[in-house]
Amino acid sequence: MEKLILLCLKCILLCSIVEAVFEDQVGKFDWRQQYVGKVRFAHFDTHMQSSKKVLLATENNVFASLNTRTGELLWRHVDMTGPEGNIDALLQYGQDAVLMVGNGRQLRSWDINVGGLNWEIVLDSGSFQSACLVGQQDFVKHVAVLKKTVISLHYLSNGHQKWVENLPESETVDYQAVYSGGNGEVYALGVVPHSHIAIVAYSLEDGEIIKQISVEAPWLSNIQASCAVIGQGMLTCVDSAAGSLYTLDLHEQSQMTQIPLQSLGLEVTPGFQPVLVSTQPNPARPPLSEFFLQLGPEHHLLLQLSDGQIVTLRDFKPAMLVAFATPGEKTVAAVMSPKNKTACSLNLFSAESGRRLLDTTLIFNLDPNGGKPEKLHVQAFLKKDDSVGYRVMVQTEDHMLTFIQQPGRVMWTRDEALSDVVTMEMVDLPLTGTQAELEGEFGKKADGLLSMLLKRLSSQVILLQAWIAHLWKMFYDARKPRSQVKNDVTIETLSRDEFNLQKMMVMVTASGKLFGIDSKTGSIVWRHYLDNIPSNAAFKLMVQRTTAHFPHPPQCTLLIKDKDTGLATLHVFNPIFGRKSHVTPPALPQPILQSLMLPLMDQDYAKVLLLVDDQYKVSAFPSTKNVLQQLQEMASSIFFYLVDSNQGRLSGYRLRTDLSTELIWEVVMPTEVQKIVSIKGKRPNEHVHSQGRVMGDRSVLYKYLNPNLLAVVTESTDLHQERSFIGILLIDGVTGRIIHEAVQRRTRGPVHVVHSENWVVYEYWSTKSRRNEFSVIELYEGMELYNSTVFSSLDRPHAPQVLQQSYIFPSSISAMEATLTEKGITSRHLLVGLPSGGILSLPKMFLDPRRPEIVTEQSREENLIPYAPELLIRTEWFINYNQTVSRVRGIYTAPSGLESTCLVVAYGLDIYQTRVYPSKQFDVLKDDYDYMLISSVLFALFFATMISKRLAEVKLLNRAWR
Amino acid sequence: MASPGGQGGGGALSTRGGSGARRMKWALELSLGNARSRADRQGGQGDVVYPIGFSEKPVPDTSIQETDKNLVEKRCWDVALGPLKQIPMNLFIMYMSGNTISIFPIMMVCMMAWRPIQALMSMSATFKLLESSSQQWLQGLVYLVGNLLGSALAIYKCQSMGLLPTHSSDWLAFIGPPQRMEIMGGGMVL
């Protein structure tokens, strides 16, 4: 046994490939961008005048602090995904930020300066309603948490519970809000929908119920949506149906006072639910008596409540967004109103009087490729002369944050939509203008010998010019220190580099915003916001034409499908510039099931896209005559498959010449037993260089390289740990023939699967042994090829040999992908995203079902590593060293122009781009290659040869004379 | 040519030295130059100066026809059997160098392969050498067979070292990817 282990170690040492980067390579080929997601709560740190922090709590369960000068993250805490980590409320007082997490499960306090946790307490889970800070005598010491049935008070300093009380009549009353005005009482506000409001006042000291009021309010259904506490404890509600405001003094038992809006000369925009916006600058004091009433999408009013009377201070129409801010003693209101089509103007108004403050206009330019403003966060501050200055953070529909300073200078922007990338592609950059010109010359049709020659000469002169200019620039740049050389990426400077290592990353985000990112620097080259994207849309991005067909522009097509209606739209755009293409996509009146990219091209070199609708009819895009003719010719060899996971049905179709389809096979998985989780085909741009594997006796084991093979993963519907299982099915997509079937009992998903070449690797959780396991299936044709020239699924009489092996993996994984290179000569690695934030480059060599248990001469000859059940995570396999990538959801790999190099993008909450070299850089000279030494040696040798030749001649001559 | 003269001179000197020692204890020569020695030599062998290489004894006639013929035959057989004689040596080298692929075994193999090939290329020159022999054709054949055996041995060595592309794996790199007959695509219903 010891010997075996020793041998193992030796083998591992022998085949270890150093992946880690050197210290000076950090950040040279890779970059990381950290995001927080769509902002739910934002608070500017106002407890210090010079503070430059903004606290953000987002829908991605991230709590972070940004530097307001630069927009960079100061610190960030990523909580669990899903409802367990959902941030319900964010309260800030002084240096403490109190966070309610997981539907009232955890109450946490953070130090906002360093982002450290002050304390955390776990509450009884469930039904969180509201939370507020409770102060007394200008000092905030407590935080009140209201849940469906209980109210509790906690100390702000350590989180300990001061008291907890059950709410009276909590079965019928829906308690929704908690309020404290700093007078030693805590109010729980509840409503019995369409009946009455219930108000319970608790004593701050011991939680005793001071009073309990019930007020008739048959028109009210939701307190949080339509009520606010204003002034000295006046609960103010708005009723859109009656068009009136109601006020109620919380301190005394009384009826609600109705104030019809008409009496104020106001009217609600039909179909709009009016909203009240109040502000409580200090939790230890009652809220201001001024408040905003929104009556329409672009209609706001600043009102004042004094002695039960409502006074209109100012009418803002049009005004899209309003916000309060309190820089010192006085509160100001910022109002955003549209200026013209491309810009909005912001102004500050005194909250007390409604007067406009002088010199406070700020212009916000709307991005034509962005969304409309959605939320306004104002950071107001007092200048030296006691006038009010302010900066605003505008949140737009496309989840973008823009921080603006007066008079409209954008200090920074953050594209938080990138925290939710759905799908992406990498597109080659175009050649430089000059190269493109040269290419264009050959693209055009010949018109006479002489003119062609002239054209040739002129284009070569241009090339020479460009080369000299390039040399000059290099020389010029070389003299400057490296830090000063700026490589700004603009559309003009975008061009393919020598080895095609720089590409355009086209990213599609869930919000419907498309991005074009330069893969070298990570700078966003273009953004395009598609409005009217349904929230549950499915996206499929396809590259129809690459940059290789100058002068035709490259073309990408995004299929957007609304999952509710099934209707789909196509967005056709240029992936380099982000502009919408002038090619009009076809209207799709029928719900679309799937799309299929054919390797056929039309006369403009655009690949043909087939769209399958719910009648199983096919439409082609582009659908020119040429394309339809080609389709008719090819129809008999075009197949497609559809997987309906709800019905557990896999079906294969064949195209007919009239673009209708016929069902040729069908496999049904009983949905009551198992459901289809994922299906993986091979990537169309994958190349396999070697058709077989060389055995120890130098014979060949040929790989079963079926391009039509599909790996179908199923999970059992029964999740009991004794009975759950996962199944893997290898099925031929053309014939429906099941090549292999495996069921792993007592295992559970989520299953991550990679299908490439002749192997399928998948990862699952074994409930039996309570560990994560990797399993690999490899398919071989055997020692002879059936047909080495063509592969047809319809003519494959022999079933392949199937080998399988499993391994223990010490960590769960969150995403997996295989490396991809230009010609497929380089050995493959698996890129595994771990929940810890590491991205592991695991050599495929370790996942090889031919790894022998007993080492023989032949297996050693084959360089097979002896089987060991454990797959170790070696730290030098982490390709992202200390650059943690949070919540990796997907890994995208693309080949580069260098065979050794594969480009990798990991996306999730963060985006990380790097290069990997699975077989090391065999085709690149090292960075520290000594050009000087080599060239000086060469020159020295050359001169030595010349001199010795001369000397030899002289000597020969002398000898001849003798 | 020079050796008989040298011997003769040597002999003359020794006789002179010997006789001089015997005749007198010392002598004073008053005549000029080398007259004494010349007189000495002339006194012993007459007054004719023989040319260098002249021997007074009759030289025996070595060109005996029968033995000459045999020698030619023998020499020719030597030439013809040369390659065959090297084979045991080669076998020994082969055994010693082993089957690992490193610089020395490769050099050995190259030498072993190159020598017979060189010899086969210069067959005509060898035939000219064997022209005088009566069994020219047989000897030529033996020479040829020997060289062929030598190269066969080299090939065998290459084979056992795994240098010959005799396995299917050696041709694996030339197999291109098969052409796809069907176009297939699709996926989960979006």
Write the DSSP string, A216-275: E-TT---HHHHEEEETTTEEEEEETTTTEEEEEETTS--PPEEEEGGGGT--PPTT---E
Of A257, A212, A256, A252, the closest CA to residue A233 belongs to A252
Mean pLDDT of A764-787: 92
Alpha-carbon distances, residue A515 vs A398, A512, A519, A529, A639 (angstroms): 12, 10, 12, 9, 33
* Percent residues over pLDDT 70 in chain B: 73
Contacts of A54 (CB under 8 A, 6+ apart): A42, A43, A44, A45, A65, A66, A68, A377, A379, A393
Q: Are the beta carbons of A691 and A701 closer than 8 angstroms?
A: no
A744, A751 Cβ separation under 8 angstroms: no
Interface TM-score (ipTM) > 0.85: no
Task: Give the distance from residue A948's alpha carbon to the nearest chain B alpha carbon, in angstroms.
Answer: 31
Nearest Cα neighbor of A181 from A281, A286, A252, A288 is A286
Among the partner residues A596, A639, A700, nearest to B182 by beta-carbon distance = A639
Tens-digit pLDDT profile for residues A599-656: 888 888 899 999 998 888 899 888 888 889 989 988 889 999 999 989 999 999 999 9
Q: What is the mean pLDDT of residues A914-923?
A: 90
Comparing CB atoms, the residue among B167, B184, B188 nearest residue A734 is B184
Please identify among residues 559-618 of chain A the ones whose CB lies closer than 8 Å to any CB of chain B.
Answer: 559, 561, 563, 568, 592-599, 610, 612
* HEC secondary structure over A49-63: CCCCEEEEEECCCEE
Spatial separation of the C-alpha atoms in residues A422 and B188, rounded to whole Å: 16
Which residues of chain A have a CB within 8 Å of the CB of B181? 637, 790-794
Confidence of residue B23 (pLDDT cuts 50, 70, 90): low
User: Tokens at residue A657, please?
Assistant: 């010449």
CB A790 within 8 A of CB B179: yes
Q: Write out residues 161-180 of A within 8 Å (CB-CB) of B.
A: none
pLDDT tens for A180-206 read: 888 888 888 888 888 888 889 898 888
DSSP A915-944: EE-TT--TTS--TT--HHHHHHHHHHHHHH
Compute the average pLDDT of residues A221-247: 85
Which among A871, A806, A817, A814 has a CA at the least distance from the CA of A837? A814
> For residue A643, what pLDDT is reported?
93
State pLDDT tens for residues A447-474.
678 887 887 788 788 778 878 888 888 8
- Chain B, nearest residue to A736 by Cα: B184
Average pLDDT, chain A: 87
B133, pLDDT greater than 80: no
Among the listed residues A293, A297, A273, the one whose alpha carbon sits nearest the alpha carbon of residue A354 = A293
> Best of A644, A698, A699, A793 to disrupt the B interface by mutation (most B CBs within 10 Å)?
A698
Minimal C-alpha gap between A684 and chain B (Å): 9
> Any chain B CB within 8 A of the CB of A786?
no
Cα of first residue to Cα of last residue in chain B, in angstroms, is 108
What residues of A are in contact with residue B176 (Cβ under 8 Å)? 691
Are the C-beta atoms of residues A640 and A646 closer than 8 Å to each other? no
Would you say the C-alpha torsion B68, B73, B78, B79 has a positive or negative sign?
A: positive
Q: Which 635-694 residues of chain A touch chain B by CB within 8 A?
A: 637-645, 676, 678-679, 681, 687-688, 690-692, 694
Tokens of A577: 């510039």
pLDDT confidence of residue B17 = 44
Q: What is the pTM of this model?
A: 0.83
Distance in angstroms (rounded) separating the CA atoms of residues A453 and A451: 5
The token duo for A870 is 């454990």
Query: Using a CB-CB distance cutoff of 8 angstroms, which residues of chain B are in contact with residue A698?
Result: 162, 167-170
Q: What angle do CA A549, A551, A556 make, to 5 degrees?
A: 60
Q: Is the pLDDT of residue B12 over 60?
A: no
pLDDT of residue A439 exceeding 60, the answer is no
Q: What percent of chain A has pLDDT over 70?
A: 94
Q: How confident is the model at residue B31 (pLDDT cuts 50, 70, 90)?
A: low
Q: Is pLDDT above 90 for A282? A: no
Identity of the residue numbered A172: T
Does the distance separating the beta carbons of B175 and A598 come in below 8 Å?
no
Q: What is the pLDDT of residues A297-341, one digit of tens each?
A: 888 989 888 877 888 888 888 888 999 988 888 889 999 998 888
Each residue's pLDDT tens digit, A739-751:
999 999 999 889 9
Q: Do B187 and A638 touch (CB under 8 A)?
A: no
H/E stretch holding A122:
strand A117-122
Q: Which of A423, A613, A687, A700 is best to mutate for the B interface (most B CBs within 10 A)?
A: A700
pLDDT in tens, A68-91: 999 899 999 999 888 888 999 999
Q: In sequence order, which residues have a C-beta less than 8 Å from that of residue A78 and are 6 or more positions away?
A: A61, A62, A886, A887, A909
* Residue A804 banded pLDDT, cuts 50, 70, 90: very high
Name the band, by pLDDT with cuts 50, 70 and 90, for residue B32.
Answer: low
Confidence of residue A41 (pLDDT cuts 50, 70, 90): very high
pLDDT of residue A109: 93
Predicted confidence at residue B18, as pLDDT, reads 46
Give B2's pLDDT tier (boundaries 50, 70, 90). Answer: very low
pLDDT > 60? residue B10: no
Report, as an integer, the average pLDDT of A127-147: 87
CB-CB contact of A331 with A279 (8 Å): yes
Residue A833: the pLDDT is 94
Q: Who wins on pLDDT, A343 or A50?
A: A343
Q: How many residues does chain A have?
A: 962
Report which residue type is found at A487.
N
pLDDT value at residue B14: 42
A652 alpha-carbon distance from chain centroid: 33
Nearest to B179 among A645, A700, A791 (CB): A791
Q: What pLDDT band is residue A929 in, cutting at 50, 70 and 90?
A: confident
Extract the tokens encoding A111. 């130090």
Nearest-by-Cβ selection for B177 from A540, A563, A688 = A688
Q: Kind and range of the H or E element at A641?
A: strand A638-644
**How many residues appear in chain B?**
190
* Cis bond before residue B88 (omega within 30° of 0): no
**Range picked from A410-414, B37-41, B104-108 for highest mean pLDDT:** A410-414
pLDDT at B22: 60
B172/A690 touch (CB, cutoff 8 Å), yes or no: yes
User: CB-side exposure of A825: number of CA atoms within 13 Å?
Assistant: 14
* Gap between the terminal Cα atoms of chain A: 80
The C-alpha of A764 sits at a distance from chain B's nearest C-alpha, in angstroms, of 21
Q: Specify the DSSP element, H or E, that contains A464.
A: helix A449-479
> Which of B170, B178, B182 lies nearest to residue A787, judging by beta carbons?
B178
pLDDT of residue A14: 45
Compute the count of residue pairs across chains A and B with CB atoms less than 8 Å apart: 116
Q: Is A480 exposed, middle or buried (0-12, 13-18, 19+ CB in 10 A)?
A: exposed
pLDDT of residue A653: 93
**pLDDT of amino acid B4:** 42
Model confidence at A117: pLDDT above 70: yes
Residues B169, A700: C-beta atoms closer than 8 Å: yes
Cis preceding linkage at A318, omega within 30: yes
Residue numbers in B near A561 (CB within 8 A): 190
> What pLDDT is attached to residue A20?
64
Cβ neighbours around A177 below 10 Å, total: 22
Residue B9 has pLDDT above 80, yes or no: no
Helical (H) or strand (E) element with A702: strand A700-703
Q: How many CA atoms lie within 13 A of A731 on its CB side?
A: 25
CA distance A54 to A899: 46
Whole-number Cα distances in Å, A527 to A68, A368, A573, A696: 23, 10, 12, 54
| CA gap B96, A552 in Å, rounded | 67
Least confident of A193-197, A433-437, A799-803, B84-88: A433-437
Regarding beta strands B179-180 and A790-791, do their DSSP bridges make them parallel or antiparallel, or are they unpaired? parallel
Measured between beta carbons, the chain A residues lying within 8 angstroms of B178 are 705, 787-791
Contact A849, A862 (CB under 8 A): no
Q: B187 and A679: CB-CB below 8 Å?
A: yes
Q: How far is CA B20 from CA A664, A890, B7, B13, B16, in A?
A: 129, 117, 20, 10, 6
Structure tokens of A85? 């980590």
pLDDT band at A806 (very low <50, low <70, confident <90, very high): very high
CB contact under 8 A, B186 and A596: yes
Maximum mean pLDDT: which of A14-18, A429-433, A915-919: A915-919
Whether the per-residue pLDDT at A540 is higher than 70: the answer is yes
Q: Taking the alpha carbons of A405, A317, A304, A253 in that order, is the dihedral positive or negative?
A: negative
Closest CA to A609 of A618, A862, A617: A618
- Residue A690: closest C-alpha in chain B: B173
Q: Residue A738's pLDDT is what?
A: 93
- Cβ atoms of B15 and B44 closer than 8 Å: yes
pLDDT at B43 exceeding the cut of 70:
no
Are A902 and A883 within 8 A, CB to CB?
no
Residues 6+ positions from A885 with CB-CB distance below 8 Å: A32, A833, A837, A838, A839, A906, A908, A910, A911, A912
pLDDT at A214: 86
Token digits for A549? 């067909």
CB atoms within 10 A of CB A657: 12
Q: Kindly report, residue by residue over B44-97, the tens digit of the pLDDT.
A: 445 567 778 777 777 766 655 666 778 888 888 888 888 888 889 888 988 888
pLDDT in the model for residue B33: 52
